[in-house]
């Protein structure tokens, strides 16, 4: 994806208040992130382990989501699959919950997805990051196909949040 600035990221949040988007922590090393290998940039809040964020591009516009993640890994070392990039991990997959945008979110509605806990889906599908020993399923899908599928799954998740 195209590199984004801190301002662009803060302006892209769809499911939190403007004040929250202004205050939440955005990585300081944005210039050093491997943007060309990212379908989305995801990060955990260093001040608040129960919070995580991601920003991606939908129809050429940045869209960012505020997420909640379990502080205690609920699944432990159970083998599970990320619903975005379909990478299988021993542990390392968390249920990320996004309050829905607008009124639905204010009424407490949210959307959840099991995702790589480190939010590094893009790097797993490109083989730039490996899961723990032997956790990777033998897949015959080409890398391009995996990337396409990851983008599709993520776009569908964002669409559910903003619906």
82 makes contact with Zn ion (CB under 5 A): yes
Exactly one of 121, 123, 151, 161 binds Zn ion (CB under 5 A); that residue is 121
Q: Please, which residue, 57 or 117, has the CB nearer to Zn ion?
A: 117
- DSSP β-bridge partners for residue 21: none
- For 18, 36, 131, 162, the CA distances from 15, given in Å and listed in that order, are 9, 26, 30, 8
Cα–Cα distance for residue pair 66/17, rounded to 1 Å: 10
Min CB(53)–Zn ion separation in Å? 15
Q: Please, which residue, 82 or 161, has the CB nearer to Zn ion?
A: 82
84 makes contact with Zn ion (CB under 5 A): yes
Q: Please, which residue, 87 or 162, has the CB nearer to Zn ion?
A: 87
116 makes contact with Zn ion (CB under 5 A): yes
Min CB(95)–Zn ion separation in Å? 13
Tokens of 159: 């669409």
**Helix segments in the chain, DSSP class H:** 6-11, 18-23, 102-106, 121-125, 143-162
26 makes contact with Zn ion (CB under 5 A): no
Cα–Cα distance for residue pair 105/82, rounded to 1 Å: 24
The footprint of Zn ion (CB under 5 A) covers 82, 84-85, 87, 116, 121
């Amino acid at each position: 994806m195209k590199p984004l600035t801190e301002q662009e990221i803060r302006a892209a949040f769809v499911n939190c208040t403007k004040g929250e988007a202004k205050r939440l922590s955005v990585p300081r090393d944005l210039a050093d992130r491997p943007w060309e290998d990212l379908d989305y940039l995801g990060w955990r809040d260093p001040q608040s382990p129960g919070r995580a964020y991601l920003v991606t591009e939908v129809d050429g516009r940045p869209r960012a989501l505020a997420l909640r993640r379990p502080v205690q890994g609920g699944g432990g070392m159970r083998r599970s699959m990320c619903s975005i990039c379909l990478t299988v991990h021993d542990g390392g997959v968390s249920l990320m919950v996004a309050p829905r945008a607008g009124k639905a979110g204010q009424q407490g509605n949210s959307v959840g997805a099991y995702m790589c806990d480190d939010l590094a889906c893009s790097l797993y599908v490109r083989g730039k990051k490996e899961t723990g020993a032997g956790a990777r399923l033998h897949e015959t899908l080409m890398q391009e196909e995996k990337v396409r599928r990851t983008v599709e799954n993520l776009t569908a998740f964002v669409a559910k949040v903003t619906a």
